[in-house]
Amino acid sequence: MSDDATPVTDGGESVADAADADPEDSPAIRRLADWDADRLSDIADEHDTPLYVTDLDRVAENCARLRAAFPDADLRYAVKANTARAVLEAVRDAGLGAECASAGEVRRALDAGFDGDDVDYTAVNPPERDLDAVVEWWEDGADLTITVGAADTLDRLRERGYDGRVCVRANPGVGAGHHEKVRTGGAAKFGVPAERVAEVFASARPDFDVVGLHAHAGSGIHGDEDLAAHREFLARVADLAGDVGDLEYVNVGGGIGVPYRDDEEPLDLDAVAAAIREELDGLDARLALEPGRYVVADAAVLLTRVNTVKGAPNELVAGVDAGMTDLLRPAMYDAFHEIRSLEPDSVDREEAPVTVAGPICESGDTFCEGRPLPVPERGDLLALGNVGAYGYEMASTYNSRPRPADVSLAGELLRERESLADLTRLER
């Protein structure tokens, strides 16, 4: 890993130090109740809301926990989970590589100081401009690896004169994950069909340095049903790897989930690691993984203020200044995020069924419906937990709403709040 950049700090401790810490010194999952309410309130007062707050030390601790569970594996952070420059630098300093789903993510990783040979570009039906850019950076000396999921992509790389490192993505026909929209292992969009993998390897080897086999079951793998499907996925990947042989590594993707509900237990990461090693036992290749959500999910919260309180049949509606443009997961995946009032007197208030709704002109713009919460008042500060993965990354400017700011727990501005002028800056 490149070590020439200044380590990011958060809360007075260097992220590099946090990454070197014993994973047993930090909890396996950080609950919303574990965040300091006074500190979050101070940050909200200084930077306004809606606002993401990111704990960079927690990012480093999660990286250290993964390294302890998979000491011999090649770990590559799935950049799409959170692309903030400070997050990428924290991951780099913790010793992980970068897995990138677009040319833009490759550029971000290189700019954040990742060495080219620590970067994978996992091309899914890649646009022409993406391939052009990635091959150009390779020609300029970034010795990255391109993961291809179609024979067509190999042809397009040949046309561009690329003869570098290639990994072939297989579709094993088994998916797992928290929602049908993120179960990739069985979706035809992703990877070479299992029955064609050997053929594609044979076609690629004369023209490229074919180094690996890749497959990915899905995102947010957590419950027993998901883990059972993941075991079947691993068994199929092992069979494919045995068939093609002569591999530097076998990449089984990411998807390691985290509990979003307070009553859910975290994964036993050591048990998951043991299951992966058991299923891949006997392969003469290094294990590679691409964790994303696990690294950053519990490292950030979203702060929002109540601006409207109104009664409705059987519930109260708390209108807040954050919406689906700031956090899309509840609207898109029906995802659950813990919500906590940060008001000092909230523990003394009665609870009532509360719907927390944003300002977007869509009925789906709600963070919860009829959830038992302290009776809200206008001006209350609320926090939503586990938003570090696919929170800010999926933010949009729908309804012409500027995207929020992102601040470290130490109070350092990581991403500026967009202005109304920013919304029209590119228009002509």
Burial 160-194 (b: 16+ CB within 10 A, else e): eebebbbbbbbbbbbbbbbeeebbbbbeeebbbeb
Helical segments of 209-308, H only: 224-244, 269-279, 293-296
Helical segments of 21-69, H only: 37-47, 56-69
Query: How many CA atoms lie less than 13 Å away from 133 in the CB half-sphere?
Result: 15
Per-residue pLDDT at 177: 39
Q: Amino acid letter at 228?
A: A
d(CA 13, CA 227): 35
Residue 362 labeled ligand binder:
yes
**Token pair belonging to 303:** 């702060």
d(CA 149, CA 140): 24
**Residues taking part in catalysis:** 361
d(CA 367, CA 422): 26
Beta carbons within 8 Å of 3's beta carbon, 6+ residues apart: 93
As to burial, measured by CB atoms within 10 angstroms (0-12 exposed, 13-18 middle, 19+ buried), residue 423 is middle
pTM assigned to the model: 0.90
CB atoms within 10 A of CB 344: 10
Residue 333 labeled ligand binder:
yes
Residue 291 labeled ligand binder:
yes
Residue 260 labeled ligand binder:
no
Task: Answer yes or no: are the C-beta atoms of 284 and 320 closer than 8 Å.
Answer: no
pLDDT tens sequence for the chain (428 residues): 333 333 333 444 445 555 565 666 788 899 999 999 999 999 999 999 999 999 999 999 999 999 999 999 999 999 999 999 999 999 999 999 999 999 999 999 999 999 999 999 998 899 999 999 999 999 999 999 999 999 999 999 999 999 999 999 998 875 443 434 334 445 677 789 889 999 999 999 999 999 999 998 764 455 555 566 777 888 888 999 999 999 999 999 887 888 999 988 888 888 888 888 888 888 999 999 999 999 999 999 999 999 999 998 888 999 999 999 999 999 999 999 999 999 999 999 999 999 999 999 999 999 999 999 999 999 999 999 999 999 999 999 999 999 999 999 999 999 999 999 999 999 99
Per-residue pLDDT at 11: 44
* Nearest by Cα to 123 from 97, 105, 96: 105
CB atoms within 10 A of CB 46: 11
Beta carbons within 8 Å of 50's beta carbon, 6+ residues apart: 302, 303, 304, 320, 321, 322, 323, 326, 404
DSSP string, 359-413: SSSSTT-EEEEEEEEEPP-TT-EEEE-S-SSSSGGG---GGGPPPPEEEETTS-E
Residue 52 labeled ligand binder:
no
56-296 carries CATH number 3.40.50.12780: no
